Amino acid sequence: MNMRPVNLKRDKQVRGLVLLLGLVLVAMLGCIPEGGPTPGGGFSSVSGTVLDQSFSMYSGVAESVGSGYLITLTDSSSYSCTSTPSGDYLRVIFEAGEEGATASASGNVTFSSVEGNLDVSEGATAGSVTITEIDATFGTISGDLSASNATSDVSGTFTVDICP
């Protein structure tokens, strides 16, 4: 049997590195919200139906308007601050004010189906929108949405990027 001397210094360095990597992983996982990330970069679990079609949020943005934000949630991966999809997609649009504010969905939330150059829209008749956080450091807005009418019904939580 060939026995090599044990290098205690190297063994301690490896253990320290493994411990450090473990702590970094735990810290990174602690930064992911319960809803998980969407492929478009936001965090969301908003889903339901929009104009009698299945809707699951894939991306979203918040644009600064006056004293608040115009938030658009879509089921398209191509929707961003700088681009609009060329194909068909569904969207939910609403205005949001300050952090902690809750607004009625009626008169504030619009359901929309975009097909080519045709944009069919209907307003919500029930529900609410609550902004839970406006994070200026990371440039995001988070909130809860529950909105419906005769042909649409969506609910869930969202986090979207604020457009520069």
Q: What residues does each domain of the chain span? A: 43-162
Share of the chain above pLDDT 70, in %: 74
pLDDT at 53 over 60: yes
Q: What is the pTM of this model?
A: 0.72
Q: What are the pLDDT digits (tens) for 114-145?
A: 998 889 999 999 999 999 999 989 999 999 99
- Give the per-residue pLDDT at 1: 57
Q: Which residue type occupies 82?
A: T
- Give the per-residue pLDDT at 124: 97
**Which pair of structure tokens corresponds to residue 131?**
């902004």
